[in-house]
Every structure is written in C-alpha cells, then in structure tokens.
Structure 1
Amino acid sequence: MSLFTQMIQLQMQILLMLSIGFFLRKQKIVTPEIRKGLSTLLINVVLPCTVIISFMNDSVVNSDLLMTCFIAVIISAIIQTVSIIASKFLFQKYEKTDANVLSYGMIVSNSAFIGIPIIQSIYGSEAVMFTSVFQIPIIVTMWTIGLALFKPIDHRHALKSVIKNPSVVAVMIGFVIMLTGIKFPLFITKTISSIASCTTAISMFVVGSILAEIEWNNLFEKKVLLYCAIRLIIYPFLVFIALTFLNVPTLIKAIAVIMTGMPAGSTTAILAEQYGCDAKIAAKLILVSTVLSVITIPILCLGL
C-alpha cells in the first residue's frame, strides 16, 4: 500500500471515529461526566501503556539509539522555546484574554491525543518511543509557562505535576525496561499491548464529543484562521526546512514536523473556561484546527 493510500485510509478512520464521538455526544450517550472519565482513563492508563509498549520493541540499545532520543528532546525543547517567544509577538495586538488563549494554543497542541496515534499508525512502535521522548519538553512547558498564561503558578507544584505526569512516568519506566532488557511474562506484555491499542479510538471519541459542543456561529474569525495557518502550515513547514538543512535523521524530522502540525489541545478550552479567558475562542481554535488538520496532516506526511 502506498503512503498516500495509507494516509487517506488513516484520515478516513480518524474522521469516522471523530464522527462517532460527535454522534455519541449528540445522543447524550457520552455525557460531560463520561467524557471526563474517558479523558482521565486515556491520560492515566491508555497513553502510558502506549508509551511503555513502544520501549518493549526489542530495539538494540546502543549509542545511536540514545543519541536519537537525545536529539528528539533537544529539537522538541528548541521548538517549544521558539513557540513561547513567537507567540508573544504574533498575538500581541489582541486583548490579553484572547492573546493568552492563542499563545497557549501555540505552545500546547493536541500532540498526545492525535499525534501519538498517527505516528504509531504510520511509523510503528519504535517511532512512538521517540515521540514519547519528544513529548517531555511539551509536558514541561504545558505545566509551567502554559499554565502561567491563565493563572499564577507555584513552581514547586508545577515541578511535581511534571514529575508525576503519567506520560513522563511511562517514559522513565520504558527506559528502565529498554536499558535492563527486562522480559515480562507474555500475558503482561499482551495486556499492555491490548490497552495501548485503544489509544486512537478513545482519543478520537473524546475529541469528537468536544467538537459536538462547540457553537458554529461566527466560527471562522480572522484570529482563528491566523492561528490555524501558523499552527498547521507555516510552523511545521519552517521546522521541516530547518531540520532538512541540519540533516536531522529522517524519522526524527518526520516526528518533529507532524507533532508541530497538530491542532490546538483540548486543555486550551478547559483552562480558558476555568480561569476567566475567552473559552469560546478556545473552543473555536480546537474545532477549526482539528477539522483543518484532517487535510493538513496528510499533506505534511506525504511531504516527508
């Protein structure tokens, strides 16, 4: 199967699962309480299993593998730093509440819910391992500078949130498994693998149910379209150019470009609602960027 056909099939699967999530919310089968439970399950159990199983792929642990992980972290940290700096200038003309939402959307994308399943589907479990490492600076930024856009933060509490984040813990466990060569009984491995296989379906159901609650009036505001153009097209294109120039390994470049081109994260609306920013703008960012990403992500993947 060609990459183009594979990407079309994948995007159709994602669209169908989003539609199911949308329908389940409209039919009130998935209520806000159920969605919150699914999100908690996804973040605390399913995604960590996806991360752990990616480290159990019999990769040969050598200096090249460790260097690739190191490169992934450094590239992600640089991308996050550029996101933070750029967002201060890109959205400064807007009211502070709107600017904070737009800036958070630049710093924190939906890379876990959508990005990891896509990477897994295209490049396999080893790529998920590198993607999980790539996620660490994103998680750190989310709980520090990202959260500070909405409320004053206690740096000690922020550090604890990062250390206790299930995905970070899963990466640490994964590294221990990979470095020590521990072999679990087959039933344990298959259990972790079975749970991990639920990642895409649950994440798309959650995102679809969120989209079902967004108001469609005045959806395509200029600031929303500006954000989508930067987040989905311009930013990943610049990352692609920079990493091509630096001759970064192909897989890491692909991961960086795809993860950079993810739509706005669902936490954007949650934090905006909780801390008095414009939750409607946040919801629009999520909806429009998620819908448009169905078109832009395959284009990004085909260009890699």
Structure 2
Amino acid sequence: MLFGFLLLKLGWIKKIHINGLSGLLTKLSLPCAILMSCQMPFSWQTAQVIGESAVISLLFMIVTLLLALLMPKIFRIKADLKNIWVGCCTFSNILFIGIPIIGSLYGHVGLIVLVTYNAFSNLFLFSFGIKLYSSVSKFEWRSFLLTPAIAASILGFLLFFARIRIVSPISETLSDLGNMTAPLSMLITGALFAQTDFQHLFKRLDLYEFCLTRLVILPLVLVPLLKFGIQNQIILGVMVIAAAMPAGAINTALAELYSGQGRRASEYVVSSTLLSMLTIPLVAWVSLFA
C-alpha cells in the first residue's frame, strides 16, 4: 500500500492507470487466484468444510444485512445517504484485502472458505445490492454468472468435486497470475489513498459513525454469534476476518453507475479501509488469540 501511495505521488502511476490496473485485478488475477484455490486434492473433509461454509455464509449475510438496515436509523442518517450506508456496511472488501490475510493465516482451505463466502456475498450484491442502488428489482442471473470471480468460483468447485486437476504448465501459469492478486490489490489501494483529501475526509461526523458501525459494532455483534455457532477453527477465522473488513470498492462503482454518488461511497470506502489497518488486527487478536 505504501508503494502504491508513493508511486502515484511521484507520478510513476497516473490516475488514469488505476482503472486499468483494477480491470487486470478483477478480470484476470483475482479469478485465477479463486480458481487455483480450489485446486486441491478432493476429500470429504474439505467437501464438508465447503458445505458448512455455505450455510454459515448465508446466515452471515442475512444478519449483516439486518444490522446494516438498522444502524442508519439509530444514527439518523440523511435519506440521501441511507442506501450508501447500507450498501457499504453489507458489502465488504473481503477478497482484495482478505486474500493476503487469509491466505497467509489459513492456506488453501481458508481460501476455499473465502471463495464460498464470496459467492454468497455476490448473490446478495447482484440481487439486493442492485435494487438498493437503483430502481431495478429484477435479479440479473446472466450478469451474476458472467462476473469473472463468480465464473471462476463455479468452475473451481466443479473441478474440485469432479476431482479434475489442471495440468502443468497451465496450472503454473494460472498460479503465477493468481499470486499477483495480493500485491496488485494493495498497490491499487495505496494509489487510491494518494488521491484522497484526508483533511476534508475526517471532518465529517457521518464518516466516523460509519467506520464505528462497519469496523467496531458489526464485529462486536457478529463475532460472539460466530464463536458460539462455529466449531471449525478455519471457518471461524475466515468469518471473523470477514466481519472486520472495511467497505468494498464495488460500492463506489455501483453508487456511481446507478445514482451518481460514487464520490460519497468512495469516502466511506477509503476512510474505513484506512482505519481497518488498526481494527482488523485488533478484532482478529481479541476474537481468535486472546
């Protein structure tokens, strides 16, 4: 992140390059990482982990959404910001920031739990999320299935359950491309920070209220429920980290596309991402290791 920040400030990365780098990340590197995370020897134990993760992910998203709908009423958020609040609370940055953290802590099994969670998150995103940011109420199955991350997830699960391994050198190429995900996502995040007017950003009370909700209140509510209901320590760890994640950048794209409020959404994304560098380690330590 620091290098991304410095590269943009020095002019070696231009603002116009960030969209191209983001496309490279979401359309190539990330799908390769998802696909290769499913390339492990089949076992019924791993299949059981996927099944448990699916059930827990569905419940996790429902509880998160209910909390996200409640908090703007408590803080009396203005009507024009309410939908952005709900979206940014519900749809977190679990993949771009989660992959380097979860991959380091829990390896391939943790990543396959993450991929399962992401599939359900995207299911909510392309149904409730689209309806939230626009007047469209119809679920677009085609858009959902053709999203590169979802298509890679489906293909990865199919290959896993069919016990099909991708042959070398194709697998090595896909792994190398997937390994770009963590550093590339951090470089992009750092470059986005370099464009932010932090003096203006942290003068607004609603940003502090949002960060308190997304980074503190949601984990405080979700983590005890997770620890009570989950026995598998890897699934628990992934879900705890998911609960602590900042708002996802996808909210900025959807808010801009459907309501022209991308700048407002980006302020929630940037502020929560910045503060999450402090809160993610704290939540993880208190929840998993203390």
TM-score (norm: length of structure 2): 0.90
1:99-120 CA distances to partner (integer Å, 9 max, x unpaired)?
A: 1111111111111111122111
Native 8 Å contact 2:103 2:111 kept in 1: yes
Correspondence for 1:186 among 162, 168, 179: 168
Correspondence for 2:154 among 172, 175, 178: 172
Determine what percentage of the aligned residue pairs are the same residue. Answer: 26
Q: SS at 1:124's partner residue?
A: helix
Residue 65 of structure 1 corresponds to which residue in structure 2? 46
Residue 256 of structure 2 corresponds to which residue in structure 1? 273
Correspondence for 1:203 among 185, 192, 208: 185
Q: SS at 1:155's partner residue?
A: coil
Map 1:227-246 to 2 at 5 A: 227-246=210-229
Query: How well do the aligned residues superpose, as a CA RMSD in angstroms?
Result: 1.9
Native 8 Å contact 2:92 2:248 kept in 1: yes
Separation in 1, partners of 2:100, 2:55:
22
Give the drift of 1:55.
1.3
1:174-214 CA distances to partner (integer Å, 9 max, x unpaired)?
A: 12222222233321121111111111111011111222222
Separation in 2, partners of 1:38, 1:279:
19
1:200-255 CA distances to partner (integer Å, 9 max, x unpaired)?
A: 11101111122222222342322211221221122123222112222431111111
The change in CA–CA distance for 1:247 and 1:183 in structure 2 (over 3 A counts) is closer
1:293 aligns with 2:276: yes
The change in CA–CA distance for 1:275 and 1:28 in structure 2 (over 3 A counts) is farther
Map 1:1-304 to 2 at 5 A: 18-58=1-41, 60-62=42-44, 64-92=45-73, 93-153=76-136, 155-156=138-139, 158-220=140-202, 221-276=204-259, 278-303=261-286, 304=288
Give the drift of 1:57.
2.4
For 2:52, give the aligned amino acid: I
For 2:67, give the aligned amino acid: A
Separation in 2, partners of 1:301, 1:87:
21
Native 8 Å contact 1:21 1:207 kept in 2: yes
Native 8 Å contact 2:131 2:137 kept in 1: no
Give the drift of 1:154.
5.4
Give the drift of 1:278.
4.3
Native 8 Å contact 1:107 1:141 kept in 2: no
Give the drift of 1:272.
2.8
Separation in 2, partners of 1:263, 1:55:
25
Separation in 1, partners of 2:78, 2:262:
14
The change in CA–CA distance for 1:184 and 1:227 in structure 2 (over 3 A counts) is same
Separation in 1, partners of 2:165, 2:106:
24
For 1:65, give the aligned amino acid: T
Give the drift of 1:61.
2.0
Separation in 2, partners of 1:169, 1:146:
19
Aligned length: 284
The change in CA–CA distance for 1:280 and 1:172 in structure 2 (over 3 A counts) is closer
Separation in 2, partners of 1:154, 1:102:
19
Q: Following TM superposition, where does structure 1 have runs of at least 4 consecutive aligned residues deviating by more than 6 angstroms?
A: none
1:21-43 CA distances to partner (integer Å, 9 max, x unpaired)?
A: 12222333333432111111111
